Chains A and B, each alone.
Chain A
Amino acid sequence: MLKAEIKVLLKQGVLDPQGQAAEKSLSALGYQNINQVRIGKYLEVTLNEKDRTAAEAQVREMCTRLLTNAVIEDYTFELVEV
């Protein structure tokens, strides 16, 4: 089986209110060197599939159709053997 580890983040340029709030809190905790915090989502999709090329194409399609919204989000993923 193959597992897709998908990371979703708001696009650069789309304001990330959660990231900004966490950023302020880290600064308040005394971390002086915080440049930016961004908060996104992590998704795992396990596939009954051995062919990496087929799995890759399928994960990309699933991300485009449902798992992410291209208007505001970007995604990356890795396939790992499970």
Chain B
Amino acid sequence: MKYGVVVFPGSTCDVDAYSLVKDVLKQSVEYIWHQEEKVTGFDCLILPAGASFGDYLRCGALARFSPVMKAVADFARQGGLVLGLGNGFQILTEAGLLPGALYRNTSLQFRCQDSYLKVENCDTPFTREIPPEQVLKIPIAHGQGNYYADPETLRQLKANGQIIFRYATAEGEVTPAANPNGSVDNIAGVCNESKNVLGMMPLPERASEALLGSADGKLIFTSILKYWEECRL
């Protein structure tokens, strides 16, 4: 399986994502510079975390107009898997590939801590290998991860099973105290209607090896691999 990691000026977790795919998943991976107008031969594209374009204007607002994003949108439209992590999630919402928007944490603090995620939908290419009821321990590191969607969008997200991860306690209880950034309904990750584009503020690439404190994030990538293998048959 071949991954592409899109690199924007200011991306900082591109190397984390690259090394995860290469060293942990043992799959092939290439960087894709944001000026590329074509992306071919990839099975999954990762939009990495970090402050693309310095987070100027709004997080993700400038990256969304990089030439590569048209190719990313085409890839997504054809059913290709796109995973936006942290800033990558912000870019996907700015690009309209995912609903809603992300803005300043209600605490006004940059939050760098472990978060616990309740998995709301295990029937997606990104979550199918996650045992139901398993709570994922995956860290966050952001100042603007406060997810907002208007009530009508929220209703559609719920109806279509597009809410994938919600911030919870270690026991899997979704409570206001477990919400690190003020996100509506504790939302930590959402996907598009066809479930092939996922955005999440927690950073699974930082939690895919036991040595890093948690390997729970790897379940997302083994799900992707399993999905890809089945699609190939």
Other A-B pairs beyond A17-B107, A17-B146, A66-B65, 15, CB < 8 Å: A14-B103, A15-B106, A17-B104, A17-B105, A17-B106, A18-B104, A18-B108, A66-B57, A66-B62, A69-B58, A69-B61, A71-B101, A71-B148, A71-B149, A71-B150
Number of A-B contacts (CB under 8 A): 33
Which residues 20-65 of A sit at the B interface, judged by CB distance below 8 A?
21
Q: A71-B100, A72-B103 are in contact. Are A17 and B61 (CB under 8 A)?
A: no
Residues of chain B within 8 A (CB-CB) of A71 are: 93, 100-101, 148-150
B86 at the interface (CB under 8 A from A): no
Among A17, A18, A67, which residue has its beta carbon within 8 angstroms of that of B182?
Answer: A17
Measured CB to CB, the residues of B under 8 A from A are 57-58, 61-62, 65, 93-94, 100-101, 103-108, 146, 148-150, 182
* Known contacts A15-B182, A66-B65: A72-B148 contact under CB 8 Å: yes
A72→B101 contact, CB < 8 A: yes
Residues in A lying within 8 Å of B, measured CB to CB:
10, 14-15, 17-18, 21, 66-67, 69, 71-72
* Residues of chain A lying within 8 A (CB to CB) of residue B65: 66
> For residue A14, which residues in chain B have a CB less than 8 angstroms away from its CB?
103, 148
Complex Cα distance A71/B154, Å?
A: 12
Q: For residue B150, which residues in chain A have a CB less than 8 angstroms away from its CB?
A: 71
Given the known interface contacts A71-B150, A72-B148, the answer about A17 and B108 at a Cβ–Cβ threshold of 8 Å is yes
For B100, what are the chain A residues with a Cβ–Cβ distance below 8 Å?
A: 71
Q: Which residue of A lies closest to B149 (CB)?
A: A71
Partner of A69, one of B94, B105, B149, B182: B94
Inter-chain contacts of B104 with A (CB < 8 A) = 17-18
Closest A residue to B100 by CB, please name it.
A71
Q: Is the CB of B58 within 8 A of A21?
A: no
CB distance from A22 to the nearest CB of B (A): 10
| Nearest CB of A to B40, in Å | 28
Closest Cβ–Cβ distance, residue B96 to chain A (whole Å) = 9
Which residue of B94, B106, B182 has the most chain A CB atoms within 10 A of its CB atom? B106
